[in-house]
Every structure is written in structure tokens, then in C-alpha cells.
Amino acid sequence: MGTLRSGALLAVLVILALAVKAAAVQSAEKPTSMYIFSNQTLLNATVHLKTCKGENVIQAPLQPPTILLKGINFSREFSCFPNFTCIVEYPLPGNYSLEVRWLNRVIYAGTVDLNASGSQIHINTRTAYVGFFVRTAERRDLRDQSVELYIEPYRLIARSGQIVLLPFGVIKYRVQFAWVQDIVLAVSGESTVGCDTGAIEVRLPLLSRLTFVLQALGGVPATGINGSAELFFNGTRIASADLLRSNIIDLTYAPLGRYTIKVYLSGRLSSELYVDVTEKNNTYTVMLPVASIVKLKVLDARGEMVSDETLVAQLTDPLGRLFSERLTSGAIVLNSMPLGRYELEIFSEKLGRAIGRSSFEVQGSDSTIFREVSVSIARVRVSVQAEGSSTLPERSKVTVKSLGVLLLSRYLDSPRESVTGDLGYLPLGAIVQIEYSYDTFSYSVELSAGGGVLALRVPIYDIAVKFVDLDGQPVSGCTATLSSPYLNYAADLSGWMLEIKHVPLSDLLISVKCSNVEVARSKVSASELKTGNITVTVNVKALEITVKNLLGKPVSGAKVLVRVSSPSGVVNLTSTTGDDGVAVLYRVPLPPSS
């Protein structure tokens, strides 16, 4: 080896001094001995450290390696350059043991033959270029995602997709993915680096894209529902959808695990749904427990559809929302309604109160749910007729009340067959008061509302009174008087029958006067009056008086006088005999006491 120039010698001495200083620092735990022979020129060699596959190193991460060179009575540590090139110095040619350490690991240990100064030595170390790839659950790359590598006690930050020079052995890693709202996904692990490692894949438990498709029952898109859906992960609100406009919730780089979807209708929490997201699928169809249309058919106690514009259905849904609708058609149609228990109350504007309630469940899986709801109410009609007459008399009045409310009032200004009316709907079993009046007669009943027609038969009768004398012949020329608490009637008899209409049921007193002498007084019971046919026998008789002379022969033209005494006075009846001597007196009143 030739003599070094002064500049070169100075450079070597500087490098040597730096190497000595570095060796002193880095080998504090294991100090090395060094023997320098006085007035001896040191030899040098350049060591090129390569990967296990002989690849050049451009830049060593963290720190360059160090070389410990040992020979006979010689030991020295050298620091290398970041490109894994090392200049070593030794006193004499020969075989030296060489140990290379990097990041606290031995990446080479062996013997090298150092002969001539300035020699170039190439060594394949226990290092390899390894690519780190952070990927989603479906193996899509997360470019520029940072990876923390731990080679005790060193920590190296790399990027996904970056190729990093690493020593052989176990490498620990940690990946932290910052999502939304301070949600951090962390994955830790370890991998053994060898010459054939090539790449290390770290898969994060997340999907590059996650889509929730919200549907109403029956698979109908939830778009148009007056509500919203909020998406939660680990209790943190992540996203939301205004269902009036969209039924899609789209996320990018969303973690696997359980998601909670809270559904709000009109701002009120309707339901909570849970979706377990796995790597097998990135699109999830979520069926909301909401029916697009709920059709309710309201039935009364008889199973008939309720239809009355004076009735208002007040419906409370499971969320406590109140809906009101007139029962003009008997049906209630509601949009975007939740499943669950509903409360129905029927309000009558006519009565000014609620008349029926029902509690029922709305369940199903179709977009349109039909439900029949029975309410304990009944449609009531009334019919008022005379029991024993074809008509109700003029001046009749009918009133109907229930629950303290006047529901019907009719006054007849002419006879009618009946009075009918629709009272509308009443609570099943409600008491209905029907009152009838005619002059001084009144009649009332209380009936229970059970649906259909409530019939009142007023005890008013048409009667026929037959007046006969003691001979069974019709009476004429007399006056009959009929009286009861509700009737005062007088008529001149002129034939067999006296017909009277609209007689209220009661006991009836009949009196007959002939020639101002009471010849009949009869009390007719109510049960007899109901038959409609009454026969009164009048104490009137035709008398034949024969007038003869002393010889027993008929006297013609004789005037006959018959005097009848009664409490009301004396009646004189006269007649004249005929050629046969017979005088006939018709309608001779015989008082009942005679």
C-alpha cells in the first residue's frame, strides 16, 4: 500500500476518530479493546452490505448499521453510511471475524479475508425489502395509511404500499384508522420477516363502501315517508337519511360490526333496528317496521261498517301521535304508519262525547295492511206506531232522548201511520227514552240500544161499540157518553155501531140515555178495550099495550099514557091503539134499577 497524501491521511484520521467515537458510544455495554501499533499505517476496505437477495440498499431507515471487526489482538467497531456502505480499517492482512448489527439485531456474522488495502467486500445480510399493504376487509388497498412498525426498541412509521428494508425476525406492527367522530379502528399484530417474505398484508375490519337500503314493509322503498333514519356505531351517530327524499345511507371505509338504525316518524322514535355488518356483504337491505298504507275498516257491534259524518275517529298510534278523521265512508286510510298497538276512540258530535273505544294491533309484512276494528257502538233507529190503530192521531208528539241529549222530536199535524227516525250511533247498551203524548195521554218507555230498530207500540186503539136493546135490536134515538181519564166522547145513536178512533188504553165508562133517562151504565176494562169490539146492552124495550072494553073487545083509537120514573125525572110516553086495540111504544127506557 502506497503512502497516503496528507489530505487523505487527515480524512482517514477524522473518519477513524469518528468511528472510534461512535464505537465508544454504541458499545457502551460491551466495550471493545483496540490495539494500535505505533508508527503503523492502517489498511482499509469498503464493505458493501446488501439484502439477502443481493439488492443494494439506497437508504437505511432510522439509523445505519455498525460493524464489529475482530482479529488477532484487534477489535474495532465501525459505523456505516445510510446506504449500507462501510469503510473498515485493520492493521494487517488476514482473516477477520465480522459482525453487522442493525436496529439492535445481528444481520450478519462471519469471517472475511482482508488482504490488500482498498479492497471491496460484498456481503448479503439478513435483511429484506418488505412491502406493507393495509387493506380493507374486501382486500382493497388503503393508500397512504400509516403503519407503525416495532423493532424493539425502535419504532418505524411506514405508509401502506411502501417497501421497507427490515431485518429478519419478528416484526410487530400496529395500524390505527381514524374514522368519523373520533372513532379509531386499531389492528395490532406481528409477522416474521424472512428472505421470501416479500409483502405483509394488514387487513382492517372495515369495508371500503357500506350501503344501507331502507325499505318499508313489503319491500317498498322508504322514500316518501315523513320521517328520518339515523345510523349509529358504538353509540356514536354516524349518518342520517331524510326519508322524504332518500332511502339510502352510504358510507366509505366503514368498520365491520353491529350498527344501530333509529327510525323517527314525525320526529318521534319509532323503532331501533340492528344490522351486523360482515365482510361478506357491503350492501344491506333494512326493512323498517313501517307500513306504507294502513287501511282501517271500523265496524259496529253488529259487524256492520260504521258510516256517519257526525262521527269523528280519533286514532292514537304507538308513537302517541293523534289522527282525526270523519267516518263518512267508514274507512280510515293512513300513510307511513308504524306497527304496534293503536287506540281508537269514536267521538259523536251529536252527543258531544265519546261513544266507543277500541284497542288493537297493527301487524304484518305487506306494504298495505288492512285491519277491521270492532267498536261497541250501535246504529239505532226508532219506530213509533199505535198498537190498536192504523194511525197515530193528530196532535201526537214523539220525543227521543239518550245520554241526556234530545235526539228526535216530532209533532203530528195530521194522522200518520208511524213516526220513524235515525238516532245515529250510540254506545252499545245505552238507555234510550222514548216519550209519546197525545192530548192528556202520555206514554214512555226506556229501551237498550242494541242496534237495529227500537219499536214503540203506543197503547192507542180504534174501537167499535155496539148498542143493542133488550130485544137484541140496534138502539137509535138515544145518546151515548164514553169517558176515561183521556177521553170524553158523546154521540147520538142511530144504528148498530159507534166507531171511535185513537182511544188511549184505560178503563172506559159508557153511559146511555134515552129520553133523558139513563138506561145503561157499563164499565169496560182496559183488557176488554184492547179487543176493539164492545157490546153494550141498553135497557130499552118496545111495549105493546092492548086496550079492551068491558066486553073484552079491542078498543080502537084509545090514547095510552106510560109514565117512567127515574132519578133524573119522569118521562111520559103516549101512543094510540089501532083497530086491534093494540098501542105500540118504541124505545121505552127502563132504568137499570127498574
* Structural domains of the chain, with CATH: 6-125 (2.60.40.10), 128-204 (2.60.40.1120), 207-288 (2.60.40.1120), 291-375 (2.60.40), 378-459 (2.60.40.10), 461-539 (2.60.40.1120), 541-588 (no CATH)
Task: Tell me how far the alpha carbon of residue 298 is from its chain's centroid.
Answer: 17
Tens of pLDDT along the chain (594 residues) come to 333 222 322 222 222 333 333 333 333 333 333 444 445 688 999 999 999 999 999 988 889 999 999 999 999 999 999 999 999 999 999 999 999 999 999 999 999 999 888 889 999 999 999 999 999 999 999 988 999 999 989 999 999 999 999 999 999 999 999 888 788 889 999 999 999 999 999 999 999 999 999 999 999 999 999 999 999 999 999 999 999 999 999 999 999 999 999 999 999 999 999 999 999 999 999 999 999 999 999 999 999 999 999 999 999 999 999 999 999 988 999 999 999 999 999 999 999 999 999 999 999 999 999 999 999 999 999 999 999 999 999 999 999 999 999 999 999 999 999 999 999 999 999 999 999 999 999 999 999 998 789 999 999 999 999 999 888 889 888 999 999 999 999 999 987 789 999 999 999 999 999 888 888 999 999 999 999 999 999 888 877 788 887 878 887 888 888 777 666 667 777 888 888 878 887 777 776 655
The Cα–Cα gap between 434 and 105 comes to: 110
Q: What is the Cα Rg of the chain in Å?
A: 63
Q: How many CB atoms are closer than 10 A to CB 43?
A: 19
Find where cell 167499535 sits.
Answer: 464
In the DSSP assignment, the letter for residue 117 is T
Instruction: Outline where DSSP puts E strands in 140-205.
Output: 146-151, 154-159, 163-167, 169-178, 184-193, 199-203
Supply φ then ψ for residue 306, to 5 degrees. -80, 125
- So what's the pLDDT on residue 25? 33
DSSP-based three-state secondary structure for 306 = coil
DSSP-based three-state secondary structure for 95 = strand
Is the Cα dihedral 88, 91, 93, 97 positive or negative? negative
In the DSSP assignment, the letter for residue 393 is P
DSSP-based three-state secondary structure for 511 = strand
DSSP line for 204-238? -SEEEEEEEEEE-GGG-B-TT-SEEEEEEETTEEE
The Cα–Cα gap between 568 and 456 comes to: 45
* Structure-derived torsion over alpha carbons of residues 409, 412, 415, 419, reported in degrees to the nearest 10: -10
* Structure-derived torsion over alpha carbons of residues 427, 431, 432, 435, reported in degrees to the nearest 10: -170
Identity at 66, one-letter amino acid code: T
List pLDDT tens digits, range 241-288. Answer: 999 999 999 999 999 999 999 999 999 999 999 999 999 999 999 999
C-alpha cell at 521: 151504565
Burial class (CB in 10 A: 0-12, 13-18, 19+), 352: exposed
DSSP-based three-state secondary structure for 44 = strand
Beta carbons of 59 and 80 less than 8 angstroms apart? no
- So what's the pLDDT on residue 592? 61
- So what's the pLDDT on residue 18? 31
Distances (CA, A) of 128 to 57, 60, 202, 214, 486: 10, 12, 18, 50, 127
Identity at 203, one-letter amino acid code: R
Task: Tell me how far the alpha carbon of residue 542 is from its chain's centroid.
Answer: 93
Find where cell 442493525 sits.
Answer: 102
- So what's the pLDDT on residue 593? 55
